[in-house]
Amino acid sequence: MIECLAIIGSICLSTASGIAFSPGGLSNSATARVGRAEAEVTLGSDNYLYLDPRQMDRACSDGHCLRYHKACETDRRRWFTCAYSFADTLNHPAFRLSAPTRAVFAEAEASIFVLADPARLNSLVPLAALTVSGGRLPICRFEGPRVPICPPEVLRD
């Protein structure tokens, strides 16, 4: 059984230290150390985007599935960083994981899970199951002011 030391937003951290919350005017986030890696969860932001879940990748575990987008790069510190967006949130990226090496990243990734359904604590999908990376963020087009062409509902599989 997976035990979450902390659940921040829809992210379950089974190991973490030094969790800090950063309330701000336009965005709110929480950061945590996961071994030698850094995890950042966006809790609120003014950067709202509607994503098309039909164009997002899908990951499942024990019958629980979620739609996601993952983009990885080497950041300005030369750390390997992946940013994750999920179909059921308007905050993008919803989660970011950074580590000084890919090996440290893999260790941290193995201890992090995503709640596919935040109302069900047993709906955990391992972050390591989100294997597809790259491509453009599937942002919905708008027709008129604030009317997305693709509604942001989550696809149920």
Q: How far apart are CA 109 and CA 126, in angstroms?
A: 8
Is residue 121 one of the residues assigned to a domain?
yes
* pLDDT tens, residue by residue, 4-41: 999 988 899 999 998 999 877 677 889 999 999 999 99
Q: Give the type of residue at 22.
A: S
| Domain count of the fold of the chain | 1
Q: Alpha-carbon torsion 75, 136, 129, 89, what sign?
A: positive
Residue bearing the bigger pLDDT, 82 or 150: 82
Domain membership of residue 57 (yes or no) is yes
pLDDT digit string, tens, across residues 77-107: 999 999 999 887 666 678 999 999 999 999 9
Residue 134 within a domain:
no
pLDDT at position 124, please? 94
Give residue 38's domain range: 6-129
Residue 152 placed within a domain:
no
- Residue 15 CB neighbour total at 10 angstroms: 17
Residue with tokens 């989660």: 95
Does 147 fall in a domain? no
Q: What average pLDDT does the structure give for the chain?
A: 85
153 within some domain: no
